[in-house]
Amino acid sequence: MGYGTGAIMAVPAHDERDFDFARELALPTRDVVYPAPIAAAAWFLTHTEDPDAFPLGWDLALADFVALATLEGYFAAAYPSILRKVARRRDPAGGRPADPLSVISPNPGAVGERRGVVQREWIEALGEIIGMGFTAARDLFTRAVYWAHAGEAYTQPGVAANSPPIDGLPTDEAKAAITSWLEDRGAGESAVTYKLRDWLFSRQRYWGEPFPIVYDEAGLPVALPESMLPVELPELEDFAPSASDDPDAPPRPPLGRAEGWAEVTLDLGDGPKRYTRELNTMPQWAGSCWYYLRYLDPTNDRAFCDPANERYWMRGDAPARRGGVDLYVGGVEHAVLHLLYARFWHKILYDLGRVSTVEPFQRLFNQGYILAPAYRDARGVYVEAHEVEKRDGAFFFRGEPVTREFGKMGKSLKNSVTPDEICTEFGADTLRLYEMYMGPLEQSKPWNPRDIVGMHRMLQRIWRTLVDEQSGEGRLTDEPASRELRGRLHRTIAGVREDLEALRFNTAIAKINEFNNALDSSASCPREVGEALILMLAPLAPHVAEEAWRRVGGEGFVVRRPFPVADPDLLVEEEVQIAVQINGKVRGRVSTPAGADEEAHRAAALADPAIARLIEGKAIRKVIVAPGRLVNIVAT
C-alpha cells in the first residue's frame, strides 16, 4: 500500500480527510501535534496536580507559564523550572491583572511564531481553554482529544505530543528523530519522494504544437495515427480568440478561426468520416522538455534522435554515466518547473528504451537573481521603473509620489532593464563582463548601472595593452618574456582556468584585470603574453577578443583556439609579497623568497626603510610571523 492510496496517513487529528472520516464513523482521534503555545499549555495542565497551589490562580499561572515558555523558545526541557517559578509568584505590583492573558505579548505579524510573542489566534484559543475550567481542560489534553473538541484537524507544523520519545520536539526535528530511530532498528530508512503536481498541458493560443487529437461525431477523442503526424499549424491572419454573443458559450481558441482546418474528413480505418480537431495547443514545455535530445540529430526525419547519436553524445565512453548534458544552469523557480518536467519526460523515454541515460543532466547550478529597484503607487500597484524620477530625495511617477523597494528584476515588478541602450553606449562585451563581475553566480546581486563604466574601462586598458590606439596595429613583439613575467602569466592562466571551470566568473575577470594592470602599457608586449591574454578573455568578452586577435595577427578565429595551459614548472613563485603590520595595522609590503623561514621574514620586514622609520624610537615587544602571508610587529 502506497501513499497515493490516501489510506495510510492514519492521523485523524492532523489530516482533514482522516478527521472527517473519523468523525463520521465516531472513531477516536488522538492529538500528536500542537502549535507551540498550546503545547506549552497542555504540558502545564497535565503536569499540575493541584490548581489551588497557585496563589494568584491557575489561570494566571497558565498564562505566565506560556509567556515564559515563549521567551525560552518553547524549550521543553526548561518547563519544570518554569513551572516552579510560576508556583512561587506572589501578588504583583498593582494586583492581579483582570485579564490573565494580558501577560502574553501578541505577535503583530499575521503568521509564524517568534520568541517572546504569540499569535493572536492562539491567545484566543488559550482564553477558550481557561474558560473551560481546569478539570475539563486537563481532561481534554490528558485524553489527547483537544482537536476533536475544537472540531477541526490541525495540519500545520508544531510540537510533537503524546508520542514518546519525540515529545516536545518541533515537527522537523521530530521527523528527523523518528527516522533515525527507525534506521537504528533496521525498520526503515529516509528517502526523498517527488510528487508531480497536476500539469495543465493545454493552452488556448495559436503558438504551440497542435495536439494530434480529433473528436468524432459523438465528441469522443481519437488519436491520429503516426502516418498523419506531425499536425502542422494552419496559416492565420487573426490570432485573437473568437468572441461569442452567448455568455454561456465556452471560449473558442484562435485555431477555431481556421474553418478548413478545424473541421476535417479523415479515414482512420473505418471509412471517411467528419472529425473536429482539438483547437488548443501544447505549451512551450512540449518542446523544451526534450530539445536537448533533438539537438543531437536535428535533421532526422524518421525519429527524434538516432540511437547511435544519442549514445555518443549523452553517454559517450562512460557506461556508468547517469546524465548526458554536462551542466544545467537555472534559477530556483525554473528548476522546479522545467527541470522537473524535463526529467519526467526523460525517465519515460529511458523506461521505453529510447535513451541510454537515466538522467538528462549531470549537474545543476542555481544562479541568483538580479535585484533592481521597483516602485509602487498609492494603490500599491507597480509602475514602470524606467519612468520614475527622483527629486529632492523622493520618487515620482508621472508627477505622483511612489514608494521604492527592491526585488527580483522582471516583468511582474516592472523593473526590467533592456540591454539595448547599454550595448549601444558601451558594447555587448561590457554588459557581459559587468553581469559576470557583479558577484558569485549563485548569489542574488543588485543592479547598479554606475558600475558598468568600470568594466568598460577595463576593456579599454586591455585593448591598449594589445593594440596601438594611434595606428590601430597590434603592439605584440616576438621578444621572449622575462621569467618573472612568464611565471605571473602562467599563474594567471591556472587561476582563470580553475575559476571558469568552477563558474567563478567574477574572480576570473579579477585575475585577468590584475594581470593586465601588472603589464607596462608603455612598453611592447611579448606575443606569448598578449596572445594568452586574448585567449583568456575570449570566453568572457568574445567580440573584443576576436577583434584584438585579428589586429595582433592571430591565425583563424580565436573562438576555435584552445584555452591556454599553464606550465607547472612556472607556477611556483620565486618571491612572494607579504604584508607588514605594526600593532595589527598594515603599514607596508615586502618581498621574501618563496619558502623562506620565519627569521628571513622578520629580517626583511625590519630592514624595510618605511617600516624602520615607523618603529624608530619604539621598543619591539614581539614579532609575529605567518610565513608567506604577513609579519606583525608589536611595538610600544
pLDDT at position 528 is 95
Put residue 399 in one of left, alpha, beta given phi > 0 → left and psi -120 to 50 → alpha: left
Cβ–Cβ < 8 Å for 158, 34: yes
- What are the backbone angles phi and psi of residue 358, rounded to the nearest 5°? -75, -25
Question: Comparing 158-162, 494-498, 537-541, 596-600, which segment has the lowest mean pLDDT?
Answer: 596-600
* 374: helix, strand or coil: strand
**Would you tell me how many other CB atoms lie within 10 Å of the CB of residue 511?**
20
pLDDT at position 521 is 64
Looking up cell 501535534, which residue turns up? 33
State mean pLDDT over 538-555.
Answer: 96
State mean pLDDT over 85-103.
Answer: 77
What is the overall mean pLDDT for the chain?
Answer: 88
**Would you tell me how many other CB atoms lie within 10 Å of the CB of residue 269?**
8
Cβ–Cβ < 8 Å for 562, 539: no
The answer on pLDDT for 71 being more than 90 is no
The answer on pLDDT for 108 being more than 50 is no
Put residue 307 in one of left, alpha, beta given phi > 0 → left and psi -120 to 50 → alpha: alpha
pLDDT at position 190 is 87
* 80: helix, strand or coil: helix
Question: Comparing 62-66, 119-123, 496-500, which segment has the lowest mean pLDDT?
Answer: 119-123
As a whole number of angstroms, the distance between CA 492 and CA 430 comes to 21
pLDDT at position 93 is 58
Question: Comparing 187-196, 348-357, 467-476, which segment has the lowest mean pLDDT?
Answer: 187-196
As a whole number of angstroms, the distance between CA 146 and CA 152 comes to 10
pLDDT at position 117 is 62
pLDDT at position 307 is 95
3-state secondary structure 271-310: CEEEEEECCCECCCHHHHCCHHHHCCCCCCCCCCCCHHHH
With bands split at pLDDT 50, 70 and 90, how would you rate the model's confidence at 412?
A: confident
pLDDT at position 110 is 37
**Would you tell me how many other CB atoms lie within 10 Å of the CB of residue 377?**
14
Task: DSSP for 143-212, please give it.
Answer: TT-HHHHHTS---S--EE-S-TTSTT-BHHHHHHHHHHHHHHTTS--------PPP----BSSSSSPBPS
The answer on pLDDT for 409 being more than 50 is yes
Cβ–Cβ < 8 Å for 335, 364: yes
With bands split at pLDDT 50, 70 and 90, how would you rate the model's confidence at 221?
A: very high
The answer on pLDDT for 13 being more than 70 is yes
473 by Cβ neighbours in 10 Å (0-12 / 13-18 / 19+) ranks as exposed
State mean pLDDT over 65-92.
Answer: 82
Looking up cell 484562435, which residue turns up? 254
Among 68, 79, 275, residue whose Cα is nearest residue 161:
79
H-helix or E-strand spanning residue 18: helix 16-24
pLDDT at position 69 is 86
* 58: helix, strand or coil: helix
pLDDT at position 219 is 93
Amino acid (one-letter) located at 19: F
State mean pLDDT over 205-231.
Answer: 93
165 by Cβ neighbours in 10 Å (0-12 / 13-18 / 19+) ranks as exposed
Using the Cα atoms of residue 438, residue 441, residue 446 and residue 449 in order, give the sign of their dihedral. Answer: positive
Residues in the chain: 636
pLDDT at position 248 is 75
With bands split at pLDDT 50, 70 and 90, how would you rate the model's confidence at 341?
A: confident
pLDDT at position 130 is 93
Question: Comparing 89-98, 300-309, 478-487, 568-577, which segment has the lowest mean pLDDT?
Answer: 89-98
As a whole number of angstroms, the distance between CA 227 and CA 237 comes to 29
The answer on pLDDT for 612 being more than 70 is yes
More confident residue, 498 or 116: 498
Instruction: Catalogue all structural domains in the chain, each as residue range(s) with its CATH number.
Output: 16-184 (no CATH), 213-242+252-283 (no CATH), 286-365 (no CATH), 370-437 (no CATH), 449-570 (1.10.730.10), 575-635 (3.10.20.590)
As a whole number of angstroms, the distance between CA 63 and CA 101 comes to 6
Find out whether the peptide bond into 210 is cis, omega within 30 degrees of 0. Answer: no
User: Strands, DSSP E only, in 392-471?
Assistant: 394-397, 400-408, 445-446
| pTM attached to this predicted model | 0.60
User: CB-based contacts of 596: which residues, under 8 Å, 6+ apart?
Assistant: 604, 627
The answer on pLDDT for 109 being more than 80 is no
- Sheet strand arrangement including 221-223: 221-223, 213-215, 272-277, 263-267
Share of the chain above pLDDT 90, in %: 52
Cβ–Cβ < 8 Å for 65, 58: no
pLDDT at position 506 is 95
As a whole number of angstroms, the distance between CA 277 and CA 260 comes to 11
Per-residue pLDDT reduced to its tens digit, 177-189: 999 999 999 988 8
Cβ–Cβ < 8 Å for 581, 587: yes
pLDDT at position 114 is 44
Per-residue pLDDT reduced to its tens digit, 204-216: 889 899 999 999 9
pLDDT at position 107 is 54
Instruction: Report the half-sphere exposure of 483 (CA within 13 A, side-chain side).
Output: 6
pLDDT at position 461 is 95
pLDDT at position 398 is 93
More confident residue, 225 or 338: 225
Q: Of 67-71, 150-154, 195-199, give the range with the top mean pLDDT.
A: 150-154
Q: Looking at residue 560, what DSSP letter applies?
A: G
pLDDT at position 515 is 95
With bands split at pLDDT 50, 70 and 90, how would you rate the model's confidence at 538?
A: very high
Among 312, 267, 318, residue whose Cα is nearest residue 293:
312
pLDDT at position 4 is 53
The answer on pLDDT for 535 being more than 60 is yes
With bands split at pLDDT 50, 70 and 90, how would you rate the model's confidence at 198?
A: low
Strand partners, 402: 395
As a whole number of angstroms, the distance between CA 367 and CA 612 comes to 49
pLDDT at position 8 is 55
More confident residue, 409 or 509: 509
As a whole number of angstroms, the distance between CA 619 and CA 210 comes to 87
DSSP-derived pairing of the beta strands 221-223 and 620-626: unpaired
pLDDT at position 94 is 60
Helix locations, 440-504, DSSP H = 452-466, 483-501
